[in-house]
Amino acid sequence: MASSSPRKSADTAERTLDVAERLVQIRGYNGFSYADIAAELDITKASLHYHYRGKAELGQALIARFSARFALALESIDRDATDARAKLDAYVNIYSAVLRGDRMCLCGMLAAEYETLPKPMGEAVARFFQDNETWLTNVFAQGQAAGSLSASMTPSQAAQMILSGLEGTMLIARTEGGLPRFQASARSLLDALTA
């Protein structure tokens, strides 16, 4: 009996993150409460506090898990795609998959609420975007060196444009056109950067 208790506790912590992630991706960080999570999981708010002392700790755990999964996805792209354009297409596919699930980028949603986030969460969101810009900068530099991507801007400028363009397009596509609009805009963005 004692051996199943830690497993049940870990399952509850993971399920809490799953529900909270979905709620943030749909409503935003300020659009849900512990009561919403507790009701969905059919547990008490006290049980949530056992796993995550407060909403700020829950938020930090969400960002850490999301960032780790995103980093693994980028590692997979680096391993599986050989040329820069293929890597950028695969990067866009990460965003498409999120939008296909009627959700938004977790850190994009949190960035919209940046001024209201606890400081550690805001710093974690900023790190997520910095890590993505670093990866995109490296991919763009690879593409420029191979002659497949435009040399009209620095890799850093291109990375900022790609990341900002995808996050912004995702937000707009949510209100009009959905996934087809996002994919068309993302394709246009990458086509404009292809040599």
Mean pLDDT of 123-152: 97
- Mean pLDDT of all residues belonging to the chain: 94
CA distances from 94 to 90, 186, 193 (A): 7, 12, 19
Q: For the beta carbon of residue 47, count every other beta carbon within 10 angstroms.
A: 17
Spatial CA neighbour of 167 closest among 136, 123, 121: 136
What percent of the chain has pLDDT above 70?
95
Mean pLDDT of 97-116: 96
Class of domain 56-193 as given by CATH: mainly alpha
Cβ pair 79, 69 in contact under 8 A: no
- The dihedrals phi and psi of 84, each to the nearest 5 degrees, come to -65, -45
What pLDDT score does 105 carry?
A: 96
Cβ pair 72, 135 in contact under 8 A: no
Q: What is the DSSP string of 19-46?
A: HHHHHHHHH-GGG--HHHHHHHHT--HH
What pLDDT score does 120 carry?
A: 97
Spatial CA neighbour of 100 closest among 163, 173, 40: 173
pLDDT band per the 50, 70, 90 thresholds, residue 195: confident
What pLDDT score does 111 carry?
A: 97
* Separation of alpha carbons 38 and 49, rounded Å: 10
Cβ pair 62, 109 in contact under 8 A: no
Mean pLDDT of 68-78: 98
Mean pLDDT of 16-29: 97
What pLDDT score does 72 carry?
A: 98
Q: Mind listing the pLDDT tens digit for each residue in 3-19?
A: 445 566 668 899 999 99
* Separation of alpha carbons 147 and 69, rounded Å: 31
CA distances from 184 to 64, 74, 155 (A): 30, 22, 23
What pLDDT score does 175 carry?
A: 92
168: pLDDT strictly greater than 70: yes
Contact residues for 23 (Cβ-Cβ < 8 A; gap 6+): 31, 32, 36, 37
171: pLDDT strictly greater than 70: yes
Give the tokens for residue 173.
Answer: 């596509």
What pLDDT score does 83 carry?
A: 96
What pLDDT score does 162 carry?
A: 98
Which residues sit opposite 194 in a β-bridge?
149
What pLDDT score does 2 carry?
A: 40
Domain boundaries defined on the chain: 56-193
**Of 30 and 195, more confident:** 30
Is pTM beyond 0.85? Reply is yes
- Any idea which residue has 């999981």 for tokens? 41
Mean pLDDT of 166-178: 94
182: pLDDT strictly greater than 50: yes
**Of 76 and 10, more confident:** 76
